Every structure is written in C-alpha cells, then in structure tokens.
Chains A and B, each alone.
Chain A
Amino acid sequence: MLFFKRYLLPRIVQFLVVVFVGITIVFIVPRLTPVDPVQQVINRITAQGAFLDPAAVDSMRKSLTELYGLEGSMLQQYFAFWGRLFRGDFGPSLFQFPIPVTQLIMTSLPWTAGLLISTTLISWIVGNLLGGLAGYFKDRRWAKVLDNISMVIRPIPYYIFALLLLILFAYLFPIFPSAGGYSVGRRIGFNWAFISDVLKHSFLPATSLVVLGIAANFMTMKLIVSNIVAEDYVMYAKAGGLKESKIAFKYVLKNGLLPQITGLALSLGQIFGGALITEIVFSYPGIGTLVYGAINSGDYNLIMGVTSLSVIGIAGATLIIDLLYPLFDPRIRHR
C-alpha cells in the first residue's frame, strides 16, 4: 500500500496532468497561428487558378465555418473537443472533410509503426549490445574498429546519409526502389510476394534509421559502460575471479541498460510523431507527412488527433517504464 501511495500514485497523477496539459496546449497553439482552416480550403480550391467568384467568398466562408463546427467561442470548442475525445473521436478532418481523423491516422500509422518500431528495436538491441561489449573490451582491436566506424557515422546529418543511400542504391546501383511502400499494381495481402515487396521498399528507409540509430546507441552505451567498469563492485568481481562473460553481461551491461531502457521507451512513444525526413527523402508512407500537411492546411482536428496520440504515447511510455523500473532495479523495489 505504501508502495502504491508513495511510488505508483504520484506517477499516475503525473501522467494524467501531462496528458491534460499537453492536449490543452495542442488545442490552443494551432488556433494562435494565422492559418485559418476555412480560408485554407478556399485558397486550395483557387491555388492553381480555378475560378471562384469573389462575390461568393464571404457566403462560402460562412457556410464552411458552420459545416466544420468552428462556430462558437474557443471555450465551447474546447469542451466539445474533450467530449469527443472521451468517446475516442477526434472529429472529421477539416481539409479532407468529412473523413474522420481516426481513419486518416489508421491509414498512415501501420507504415510508421512497422518502420519505426522495428528500426528502433533493432538499433537499440544491436547498438547497446555492441556498445556495451566495446566499452567492456575496449582494448580489443574489433572494439576500436567499431568505435571508429561509429565516430565516422554518428555526426553525419540524417538527411545527407539518407540521400546518400538513395543515390547509391536507387540510382548508381538501382537495387532498391526510390519511392513508395510497395510496387504499383501489387495487391495487398498476407503473402510472400507482398511481404517481400514491402521489405524491399522499406529497406533503404529502415537502413538509414538503423545505421544511425546503432551508431548513436553504440556510443552512448560505450560511454556508460566505460564508467561502470571502473566501479568498485566490478573491480571486486574481477578480483573475486568471476568469469569475464559473467561480469560483462550480469554486472556491467545489465546496469548500463537502465538509462537506455528509458531512452527506448521514449523513442517508442515518439513513433506517433512519425519520421518526417525519412518519409520525405524516400517518399515513404507514414504519419509524419500527414501531420506536416495538417499543420500547413490548418487542419485543427487532424493536428490534434496526431499530436494527442503523441502526447499520450510519450507520457504512457514514461509511465510504463516508471511502473516497470522496480523490476529492473532492485534499489527502487527495496526503497
């Protein structure tokens, strides 16, 4: 009971406050920009030169404001928003009216989730494993080679690295497609032809994320482990004659992983924000371009839908990690 009161309850309250404040900010900020969703719809209609009689613009603006539910004070809209949110409804997209926001998100989310969950996990596991081992066996030749490679890769700006992969493997050696999620004319289905096609299309975007992700995790973990190996308990274990592999995995890597687990949770929570640059460079489907378009068109509902999920995702991931920490860290369990 004391554990619940002193450890769990404050974190659950913190989660609820973060979600409430975050979503409230998400509601207010788009409305403070000069971008008006109704005007954006009108601008879009005439952007490429279609005729719209200026005499009709005012009445069109009025009827669209009513249709989109943007009438009333900001406070009234705010309460209506929370009312919808509790029903799991973000309302219709304003720019793509009347398609529900949830439908738009569900179209893009599987691509983002598939790409980012897999690449985040791969780069986390491989990066931390290699970084941990390289930190522990830092005088070995292979550790130095890996260290040099990651020092070269890590500072490369992501956009440049992604473009490099694209030019290398989609143009100079056209092994992989330069754009899209799957081939034109391919039927979506749970079969090897489709799965291999998706893998082929996702290879370059995934590689760009994984390589830089591994390098980042590698360097962080190596630094953490470099500090841990100088701790008294490690020296004591060595002096006690324990096996190197046991010291490395049970004593050093396990302790080194604690801060990295938090990083992993936050990274996974962030996937709802998408990977905008990856999506743009590789023309890969995902939620990043969806929310980018929503911001430009002032699509309040879509912005709120995606960012609310992101707020809940990150706050939720933090909460889950906080709740799971006692399992990883006996010091918290026994506090």
Chain B
Amino acid sequence: MKRSFSIFFVSLLVLVMGFAQAGFAQLAEDIPREKTFIADVLTGRVGTPANFNVFTTAWRNPDRGVQQLMLEPLWLVDYVTGEVINALAAEGPIYNEDFTQMTVKLREGCQWSDGVPITADDIVYGIELCMQDSGMSYNAPFNLYVDKVYKTDDYTVVFEFKEPNARFHANFIDRWGGWRPFPKHIFEEAEDPLSFDFNPPISSGPYVLKDFDQAGYWTLWERREDWDKTPTGILYGMPQPEYVLFYYYGDAANKVIAQANHNLDMTDLTMEAFRAILERNEYSRGYRKEYPWVVNVDPCMTGLTLNNDVSPFDLKDVRWALTLAIDIVDYIGIAFDGAAPMGVLHVPPTPVYQEWYYKPLEEWLKNLTLDIEIDGEPFKPYDPEAPFRLVEYVKERGYDVPKEPEAIREMFGPGWWKYAPDVAEQLLLRNGFTKDANGKWLLPDGTPWKIAITAHPSPSHPQHRNSLAAAQQWRNFGIDVTVNPSEAYAALAQTGDYVVNDNWPAIEPWGGHPDLYRVLSPFRTSYYRPIGEQAVGHSSRWYNEKLDKVIEEMEKVDWDSDKNLQLGMEGLKILVEEMPTIPTFGYPGVVAWDEYYWTNYPGAENPYTQPYHHWPNFKYMLPFLRPVER
C-alpha cells in the first residue's frame, strides 16, 4: 500500500514539475508579450465566437475587439474631451432647413482591410439591407424615418425622410453601439445576411482578426499593415501595440490574479478588488493615481427610480420628502467610501456637463424654492457646500484631497440637496402621513409605510450601492425599507413591477455633446405605458406636458444650436422641480491599469480620451500608449 501511495504522489509531483518546467505562458510563442496589449472583455464569454456579424439584432459581444479595433463608425462621441469625432464621416451631418434631408460626406482614403475603398456604396447598401431585413440592426428606426437613401458621388450619401427629424444622425454615432458600415462587396455575396458569420471579418478599423478561442474566452487582433488607411491612423497615427488580446477573465479574483501576473493590462474591477490589486502589484493604477481613484468622467448618472404609477410616489411632495431625507455625505460614504461625484441634475457631474449645465444653472438652483415655508421663508433646498462636507468626511477617513474649491467640485461634484428631515416631515404631514408611537411613518390610510427597493444583483455595482445607501437613509428617517436584489431587476423595471429601484434616474446623455434629447424624450407622454406593459420610454412611468413641449421644440432645432442648449436647461429644470426620480452621484467607474508593459494611459492627469477599454474609442487610445520596452 505504501508503495502505491509513493508511486501516486511521485507521479503527481512529476506532472506538476513538468508543467512548471514548461513555464506558464498565456500567449503562444509567436506572440511577444511586450508587443501585445491585453484587455478584459466586459460583457462575458462570447457565445458565438466564430461569428463576427455584429450587424444583426443578435448579441455577439462586440466588446471583444469588434467595436474597439475592427470597426469604425461614421461618428463617435468622446465624453472626456466633449467632442463628436468624425471617423468615416468627413464632417458632421448636413441637414436641410426643415430637417427632411440629411447629407453625409465620407472621409476619402479609407479602405477595408482587403484593400477595397470604403465608399458611399457601402453606406447605401447597408442602410437598404437593414431596412429590408427585420433581423438586422436599426431595421425599425430606419423604416420609421427613411424614405430614400442614395449617393450623389462616391463620398456623399443623402437621406430623405418621411417626416422631419433633426436627430437622425444619432443612429450613426457610436456610443457603445450605433449603426456601423459593413463591406458591401462581402455581404452581397452572402446567401442570408442574418445567418452569415462574417468570418474571417473584413475591418474598417486599424486591426484585423488574428485568432480566436473556439470556447469564447479570447480574441486576438493584429495591427493592419495599412493602418494609415483607417480613420484611427489618419486622425491619430499608428496604434502602438502590434497585437491586442481581449480576454474574458471572469470574476474579480481572477482579474486581480491576471493583472498581478502582468497578464492583463486594462480591466474594470470592483472597488474591493481594486484595493487588492494595488497591494499586490506596484505597477497597477486607477484613473487617478491617488484617492478617490475612480473614473469621475463616466457619462452615466446613478440614483433612484421611483415608480410614479404607484402610490404615494405619484405625489411630488413625497418624492421631494424622500430626497430631503437623504444626507448625501453619509449616502456616498455608505455607497462608495466617499469616492463618487454628487450631482442634482439628471446628467452626470462630469467636467463637460458641469460646464454645459451645472454652472449655468447654479444660480437657478441656489434660488430654487419649494412650495413650503420654514420660519416664514420659502425653503431653498440646494446646498452648494455639500461637496465640502464630503471632503471633511473623506479627510476623517484618512485620505488626502486637494484644497482648491474648483478641484473639489471637479472631484466630488458641484453640490446636492440639503439634508432636511424636518422639511421632509412637513411635506409628508401635509399630505396626511402620520407617525406611530415608535416614530415610524404611516401612510395616509394608517398602514405602516414600507418600501421594498428592487436592487441590481451585484453587491459591488454602484446601482446596488445606491439601494443600500437609500435604505439606510430612509430607515433613519423612519420608513420600513428592505432591499431585494434580483437578477430580473431590469425586466421588473420594464413592466413596472417595482416600487423603487436603483436604475438610472434618466437615460444617460451623449456624454460628449450637450444635446439632451435622449435624456428628456423618454419621459414623453406618448411613451407612457401603464404597469404590466413593457416600457417604451423611462421605466419611472412619469410624464409631463410641459416637458412634452420642450421635447417637441428640440425636434425642430439643430442639435448644435444655442436654442437646443437652452431647451436642455428648461427640461432639466422641470425634472428638478418635479423630482420624478432622484439623481445621486455620477457613476464611479473603477478601472485598473498595469504599467508593467504599457504606459501613458488616459488618466486624470492626462485625459486625452475616454478611459475605458470596452468603449469603441479604445482604438483612439492605442496610438498614444507607450511600450515600456521590457
């Protein structure tokens, strides 16, 4: 028996040592690590790894490099620089006076990776194909608006609309998705464009497919020799990495291990995992090199969505009472240890939105009064000192932060609502709410007020953190609150089967353009759907006639115009006054970048482009990365 055991363990040892001798290399021998950039796939394992046809409605994990490296759109939005970049388009959209026609001028000199020029024929063919086949992306919006599409020369495409539309070009702006051109000469040979796998794919972007994992974990891309025939090359120069590998590492622990082993240059993480990698890899860094580390330029606004079809959230006073029952400093402390920028508007407090909306509206916010008097004076709810209170909290936690007010507002947001539970109490009392002997709130019908917050299932997600923080704040105020995480939270929101949830308080804005049509239009009255039906607009089921008028006006003006900016402000004011949903803080993106092989990431000290590896703009970051030469 002893002999058998000895043989077994010696065999095991030999096997392990054999692997150790071979050494662990993630890449095959012909792919040099120092010439390869490795990024994580945000959306998970690829279900159909051999299929690169991302032009249908089916899900194909475009962030495995397809949208970041393989494809160029007509336009692309950058929420850090605040610009809309002309990619395959040579300039912005040209509308006629009544917005019934749009002309697109294409950039000359761009080629598909097989050497065929990218021309107006590709655009016209692609649009017509998408209109014919209901399984293709953008079939519905194109059929809704496009009457005719044709070319007037090889680099000019004209769209004629069935009705005026000043935002039609929005369908072509790549903002983690958008209609992207595909090669006519390839697709017209396919028997069925819907089931066509587009493998090997032909690129309009600066990289071509080198290899992919049949099991869907990784996709390897190689820089095109003719990278200078792509918008990336023309606009920014040669992308530095010869190879880019997109690898799905799975959960946070695995990502930390991969980056600690220098096998993952760029990834998103949870805050807990980020702290772990900082301790284990001296080359790892966040968007900021010091606290608060997080990406505070993300174009998403987090907060709480109230179901306005459910009593008592149909009352404006109740919605404001819940807002004033929140101490935002305590709230962000609970949610993100203070590391998130606060904001009162339904757009995130990023530097560009602070310039476009927060600063112009600051005086209005300071003078805003609620329909209630405190000590004989109308109550002014806005608190521009809130970020400075947050700074005090942060200092108590032992972190260093800048002293300059501008830097503080940039880092922690421009302000929030006062913590005023006494005012909140008055707002409720005048609507028939009462308190029991234990100080717990009772509804006007005398039953205990209970709120069940439907939460994002991941405890580390900022949405979930909003739920936890809100629950704590409202419990302190005397409401019986529970948090119910659910994998089906998005589906429940769509059908209105919730009371309060942690979904975005408004659809996120462009990020790189001041136009707020996509933020405001989902609240349109005609998009309202009662509980039980799938929502078309925002899931809060709130609508407002005054806002309808703003939206209708927006549809008649150029999105670059001053008038459009003013309308955006009017819309935001209505949202603030009515408070159908409660914005709290800008999405604090947690990224970890390894500077072992590559440097010059677009961090807070040098924000030359947006900082995420999964956004389509990633290709515009690559020419600026610098190899460390190890």
Interface membership of B152, Cβ < 8 A: no
* Smallest beta-carbon distance A180→chain B, Å: 5
Interchain CB contact under 8 A, B257 and A167: yes
Contacts of B234 in A (CB 8 A): none
Which A-chain residue is minimally distant from B1 (CB atoms)?
A142
Residue among A49, A163, A174, A182 making CB contact with B261, cutoff 8 Å:
A174
Contacts of B19 in A (CB 8 A): 175-176, 200, 203
Interface membership of A217, Cβ < 8 A: no
Fill in one digit per residue for B482-525: 1 if any A CB lies within 8 Å of its CB, else 0: 00000110111011010000000000100100000010011010
Which A-chain residue is minimally distant from B18 (CB atoms)?
A196
Interchain CB contact under 8 A, B140 and A60: yes
Interface membership of A267, Cβ < 8 A: no
Interchain CB contact under 8 A, A181 and B217: yes
Known contacts A36-B534, A181-B213, A184-B31; A54/B527 CB under 8 A: yes
Contacts of B534 in A (CB 8 A): 36, 39, 61
Interface membership of B602, Cβ < 8 A: no
Interchain CB contact under 8 A, B175 and A98: no
Interchain CB contact under 8 A, A185 and B143: no
Residue among A48, A99, A174, A181 making CB contact with B51, cutoff 8 Å:
A99
Fill in one digit per residue for B127-167: 1 if any A CB lies within 8 Å of its CB, else 0: 00000001101011101100000000000000000000001
Within 137-183 of A, Cβ neighbours of B (below 8 Å) are at: 142, 163, 166-167, 170-171, 174-183
Interchain CB contact under 8 A, B247 and A52: no
A26 CA to B586 CA, complexed, in Å? 41
A282 CA to B491 CA, complexed, in Å? 29
Interface membership of A283, Cβ < 8 A: yes
Fill in one digit per residue for A264-307: 1 if any B CB lies within 8 Å of its CB, else 0: 00000000000000001111010001100101111000000000
Interchain CB contact under 8 A, B60 and A285: no
Within 179-223 of A, Cβ neighbours of B (below 8 Å) are at: 179-186, 188, 196, 200, 203
Known contacts A54-B522, A60-B140, A280-B250; A185/B31 CB under 8 A: yes
Fill in one digit per residue for A39-56: 1 if any B CB lies within 8 Å of its CB, else 0: 111011110111111111
Contacts of B51 in A (CB 8 A): 96, 99
Interface membership of A328, Cβ < 8 A: no
Interchain CB contact under 8 A, A184 and B141: no
Interchain CB contact under 8 A, B299 and A49: yes
Stretch at the interface among A3-11, A63-71, A254-262: A63-71
Contacts of B143 in A (CB 8 A): 59
Residue among B47, B176, B194, B220 making CB contact with A293, cutoff 8 Å:
B47
Interchain CB contact under 8 A, B144 and A56: yes
Interchain CB contact under 8 A, B217 and A95: no
Interface membership of B22, Cβ < 8 A: yes
A188 CA to B212 CA, complexed, in Å? 11
Secondary structure class of chain A's binding surface, majority of residues: helix
Interchain CB contact under 8 A, B214 and A49: no
Known contacts A50-B178, A174-B261; A283/B60 CB under 8 A: no
Known contacts A54-B537, A171-B257; A296/B216 CB under 8 A: no
Interchain CB contact under 8 A, B254 and A39: no
Interface membership of A111, Cβ < 8 A: yes
Which B-chain residue is minimally distant from A108 (CB atoms)?
B215
* Smallest beta-carbon distance B174→chain A, Å: 8
* Smallest beta-carbon distance B11→chain A, Å: 13
Interface membership of B209, Cβ < 8 A: no
* Smallest beta-carbon distance A143→chain B, Å: 10
Interchain CB contact under 8 A, B247 and A184: yes
Chain B interface category by residue count: 35 or more
Contacts of A227 in B (CB 8 A): none
Interchain CB contact under 8 A, B144 and A178: no
Interface membership of A104, Cβ < 8 A: yes
Interchain CB contact under 8 A, A184 and B47: no
Residue among A35, A97, A171, A181 making CB contact with B58, cutoff 8 Å:
A97
Which B-chain residue is minimally distant from A45 (CB atoms)?
B177
Which A-chain residue is minimally distant from B45 (CB atoms)?
A289
A167 CA to B31 CA, complexed, in Å? 26
* Smallest beta-carbon distance A264→chain B, Å: 21
Interchain CB contact under 8 A, B57 and A45: yes
Contacts of A167 in B (CB 8 A): 253, 257
Which A-chain residue is minimally distant from B249 (CB atoms)?
A179
Which B-chain residue is minimally distant from A290 (CB atoms)?
B47
**A contact residues, total (Cβ < 8 Å):** 74
Interchain CB contact under 8 A, A296 and B177: no
Interface membership of B74, Cβ < 8 A: no
Interface membership of A33, Cβ < 8 A: yes
Known contacts A34-B491, A53-B171, A171-B257; A184/B20 CB under 8 A: no
Interchain CB contact under 8 A, A51 and B249: no
* Smallest beta-carbon distance A266→chain B, Å: 27
Residue among B140, B518, B521, B537 making CB contact with A59, cutoff 8 Å:
B140
* Smallest beta-carbon distance A113→chain B, Å: 13
* Smallest beta-carbon distance A1→chain B, Å: 48
A300 CA to B534 CA, complexed, in Å? 18
Interface membership of A128, Cβ < 8 A: no
Interchain CB contact under 8 A, A281 and B251: yes
Interchain CB contact under 8 A, B140 and A63: yes
Interchain CB contact under 8 A, A179 and B25: no
Which A-chain residue is minimally distant from B142 (CB atoms)?
A56
Residue among A44, A180, A203 making CB contact with B247, cutoff 8 Å:
A180
Interchain CB contact under 8 A, A96 and B25: no
* Smallest beta-carbon distance A73→chain B, Å: 19
Most B CB contacts (10 A, CB to CB) among A36, A46, A52 go to A52
Known contacts A58-B536, A104-B48, A176-B19; A53/B144 CB under 8 A: yes
Known contacts A34-B497, A67-B134, A178-B254; A285/B261 CB under 8 A: no
Interface membership of B448, Cβ < 8 A: no
Known contacts A54-B527, A55-B144, A184-B26; A170/B257 CB under 8 A: yes
Which A-chain residue is minimally distant from B219 (CB atoms)?
A184
Residue among A36, A57, A181 making CB contact with B491, cutoff 8 Å:
A36
Which A-chain residue is minimally distant from B457 (CB atoms)?
A296
Most A CB contacts (10 A, CB to CB) among B175, B195, B218 go to B218
Interchain CB contact under 8 A, B177 and A183: no
Which A-chain residue is minimally distant from B248 (CB atoms)?
A283
Interface membership of B30, Cβ < 8 A: yes
Interface membership of A93, Cβ < 8 A: yes
Which A-chain residue is minimally distant from B56 (CB atoms)?
A97
Interface membership of A107, Cβ < 8 A: yes
Contacts of A203 in B (CB 8 A): 19
Contacts of A163 in B (CB 8 A): 253
Interchain CB contact under 8 A, B175 and A184: no
Residue among B57, B215, B495 making CB contact with A34, cutoff 8 Å:
B495
Interchain CB contact under 8 A, A185 and B220: yes
Which A-chain residue is minimally distant from B492 (CB atoms)?
A34
Residue among B16, B135, B217, B220 making CB contact with A179, cutoff 8 Å:
B217
A66 CA to B57 CA, complexed, in Å? 13
Interface membership of B245, Cβ < 8 A: yes
Contacts of A281 in B (CB 8 A): 250-251, 253-254
Known: A170-B257, A289-B45. 17 other contacts (CB 8 A): A54-B521, A54-B536, A57-B536, A64-B57, A66-B134, A95-B47, A97-B56, A99-B48, A99-B51, A167-B253, A167-B257, A180-B218, A182-B213, A183-B25, A184-B27, A185-B27, A295-B487
A–B Cβ pairs within 8 angstroms, 12 of them: A44-B59, A49-B175, A49-B299, A63-B139, A96-B59, A170-B257, A174-B24, A179-B250, A185-B31, A185-B220, A188-B214, A283-B45
Which A residues fall within an 8 A CB radius of B? Answer: 33-36, 39-41, 43-46, 48-61, 63-64, 66-67, 93, 95-99, 104, 107-108, 111, 142, 163, 166-167, 170-171, 174-186, 188, 196, 200, 203, 280-283, 285, 289-290, 293, 295-298
